[in-house]
Amino acid sequence: MSTAEYEDVSMMEADLAMTAATSARTEMETRDVSVWFGKRKVLEGVNIAFPKNTVTALIGPSGCGKSTFIRTLNRLHELIPTAALAGEVLYEGNDIYSPEVDPVHIRLKIGMVFQKPNPFPSMTIRGNVLSGLKLSGMKRPNHDDIVEQTLTAAGLWNEVKDRLNNAAGDLSGGQQQRLVIARSLAVNPSVLLMDEPCSALDPGSTLKIEETIRELSRDITIIIVTHNMQQAVRVADNTAFFLATDGNPGHVVEQGPTTEIFGNPQDQRTLDYVNGRFG
């Protein structure tokens, strides 16, 4: 892979300039996405647009396909041997599943944070932040600056700046999760996928991560799966409600601005879910 593909500093400036002009520009979009594991269809006809530099929450009861859906957005889904997919996932207007697209490039532009904090235990804090560069062979200059910038963006810099060469495993769960966020940012993604990033964390750490999400959304697009309704209200501009009933594949029941989904839902099932009557 050539380094030219990662020459994105000037691109980012151009993006920022454009954001001012077209604030509602769509960064990612799914068109009629259906997903199978083997013969079992788990998601049907999902159409969601993710406007640039916004936070979108995906909510819904367990087993409704939210996590599966988010894994289709950076082509992690295809790493499961029986996985199949129909429809299109557009990133900057181009289908990420078209044959000429390199999945590695997609995964670098569309980063991901998982439910359980997963720093690499054999690496230092600094090593973890830079691991994406090492693992993907991506070249970016000024590693010290990247470490400081990304850890600052993840709200962890002040806590770890004096012990960057300590083991990442010594950090608390919340700190590890913020380290993992810094790690995803180090490869300079424009989208960050978060699959229940706070479900393994205490309330204090959750709050810090939520602040980080709000901060980050000024520069990147965030898509977050959450079981915590209050969290969706606190961080998300838009919300999509997923539901799977009685063995049918999951689908989007309702989507729109978070204030609408929680304040004035159009569908009875959404109303019941956001008010905690099921799920």
Partner 1 sequence: MADVGAPELRDLQSAATSHRGDRVFNRTITAAAFVALLVLAGITIFLGAQAIPVLQTQGMDFLTTSIWDPPNYGIWGMLYGSLLLAVIALVIAVPASLLLSVFMVFLAPSGVAKVLTNLVDLMAAIPSVILGLWAFYVLAPVSEQWQQLLNQYLGWIPIFQNESGNFSGTPFTAGFVLAIMMIPIVTSVTREVLGRTPPELINASEALGCSLWTMLRYVALPYGRGGLVGGVMLGLGRALGETIAVFFVIKIAFDPVNYYNIIESGGGSVATLIVSKFGEASGPYETQLLLAAGFFLFMGTLAVNVIANLIVNRTGRLQS
Question: Stretches 87-95, 113-121, 223-231, 253-261: which one binds partner 1 (CB under 8 A)?
Answer: 113-121
Q: Which of residues 161-190 bind partner 1 (CB under 8 A)?
A: 164-165, 167, 180, 183-184, 187
Confirm or reject binding of residue 37 to partner 1 (CB under 8 A).
Answer: no
Judged by CB under 8 A, the residue of 25, 31, 41, 116 near partner 1 is: 116
Those residues with Cβ within 8 angstroms of residue 35's Cβ, 6 or more apart along the chain or in another chain: 41, 42, 43, 65, 68, 69, 72, 77, 83, 84, 85, 86, 249
Taking CB under 8 A as the rule, does residue 107 contact partner 1? Answer: yes
Query: Minimal CA–CA distance to 72: which of 86, 93, 58, 82?
Result: 86
96 binds partner 1 (CB under 8 A): no
CA 18 to chain centre: 22
124 binds partner 1 per the rule CB under 8 A: yes
Residues ≥6 apart with Cβ < 8 Å to 139: 3, 6, 133
Q: Report the residue number, 72 or 270, with the smaller CB distance to partner 1.
A: 72
| Residue 275 in tokens | 């008010």
Residue 112 touches partner 1, criterion: CB under 8 A: yes
Q: What is the dihedral of CA 257, 261, 264, 269, to 10 degrees?
A: 150
Size of the site for partner 1 (CB under 8 A): 36
> How many angstroms separate the CA atoms of 132 and 186, rounded?
7
250 touching partner 1, by CB under 8 A = no
Interaction of residue 38 with partner 1, rule CB under 8 A: no
Shortest gap between Cβ of 16 and partner 1 (angstroms)?
A: 24
Interacting residues toward partner 1 by CB under 8 A: 74, 76, 79, 81, 103-108, 111-112, 114, 116, 118-124, 126-127, 131-132, 134-137, 164-165, 167, 180, 183-184, 187
